[in-house]
Amino acid sequence: MTTPQGPRSLPTTPALALHGLHKQFSSPSGTVRAVNGIDLTIMPGEVVAFLGPNGAGKTTTIDMVLGLSQASSGTLEVFGHSPADAIAAGRVAAVMQTGGLLRDITVAETVELTASLFGSSVAAAPYLERAGIADIADRMVGKCSGGQQQRLRFAMALVSEPDLLLLDEPTTGMDVEGRREFWSAIRQDAARGRTIVFATHYLEEADAYADRIVLVSQGRIVADGSSAEIKNLASGRTVTALLDAEAEPGQVLDAIRALDGVDTVEERGNRIIVRTSDSDTVARYLLTRTKARDLEVTAENLEEAFVALTSAHPTSATDVPAPAAVTATEGALR
């Protein structure tokens, strides 16, 4: 495509580029490999969930992206710059789980104070509107619910109009309604093209709000793809169909077993149940080569995929059993 200014090109500098990233901690009981060789490229405009069990290395990775801690080895670039430079340029902001709020000022004053830290005086209203909390502008922060405080942190993060927004388990402790409202505000904002990376324990949040899920376990990436791809990776799909009563089930079953990607074939009366990594091929075979009917294809849910992929991973990422989680989120709010 060309414009009066010349050819328009898609952005080629990644929002985040992590190569061979490692982070080790010394603890009284030995070395903890919190991040153990992460390679990851996230392009501008992507909404990515960093999903993993406790101690997977999500917070440690986010802390390095925010320049709060240094990698033990490997490289990390944010829009082609060091984290410190990207943050100084106001291109990165974060919504963390805790910290960063003063209880005795109002919601609007909090946003105005944040703006003053950036050397500007802005009206709070547009940011409160975008975070969905314009109606509580005059409320004392200490009187706000946990969900409202998280949306306030989101409004504060918006003040620098960052190109990359990082959220570390932003909805921990919120009720279902609070989580829904929080994500609705984030999602609307993402539609403007902002890059969003969030860490979460909630599988349904990753499933519902991310375009891409990076599944981490033991400091490594164990899967990376869309929610549908992750589900398929872990367990494939199940194809079931009713065979024609006059068909020769033995022959059909043997032919299906020979198809690429088929794991198991079960027979229950006239119904066959095929577990496969390539459901298209099985479905095509059944519908074009047999008189099978009532065909259904189902994917495992993300929770099953999560358990399968994270428990299948070897435990060699740590030299010792991981100590209780230590996070560095306090005070990280910008």
Ligand X SMILES: Nc1ncnc2c1ncn2[C@@H]1O[C@H](COP(=O)(O)OP(=O)(O)OP(=O)(O)O)[C@@H](O)[C@H]1O
Binding footprint of ligand X on the chain (CB under 6 A): 25, 27, 32, 34, 52, 54-60, 201, 322-323, 325-327
Picking from 144, 121, 118, the residue whose alpha carbon sits closest to that of residue 132 is: 144
* DSSP per-residue codes, 255-285: HHHTSTTEEEEEEETTEEEEEES-HHHHHHH
Q: Given the complex with ligand X, which of 163 and 169 has the nearer CB atom? A: 169
Q: What are phi and psi of 227, to 5 degrees?
A: -55, -45
First-residue to last-residue Cα distance in the chain? 38
Q: Given the complex with ligand X, which of 133 and 196 has the nearer CB atom? A: 196
Q: Given the complex with ligand X, which of 13 and 27 has the nearer CB atom? A: 27
Picking from 87, 251, 90, 246, the residue whose alpha carbon sits closest to that of residue 159 is: 90
Least separation in angstroms between residue 60's CB and ligand X is: 3
Q: Given the complex with ligand X, which of 225 and 323 has the nearer CB atom? A: 323
CB 66, CB 87: distance < 8 Å: yes
Least separation in angstroms between residue 96's CB and ligand X is: 11
Least separation in angstroms between residue 323's CB and ligand X is: 5
CB 241, CB 289: distance < 8 Å: no
Least separation in angstroms between residue 249's CB and ligand X is: 48
Least separation in angstroms between residue 200's CB and ligand X is: 9
Q: Given the complex with ligand X, which of 96 and 115 has the nearer CB atom? A: 96
Helix, coil or strand: residue 70? coil
CB 6, CB 31: distance < 8 Å: no
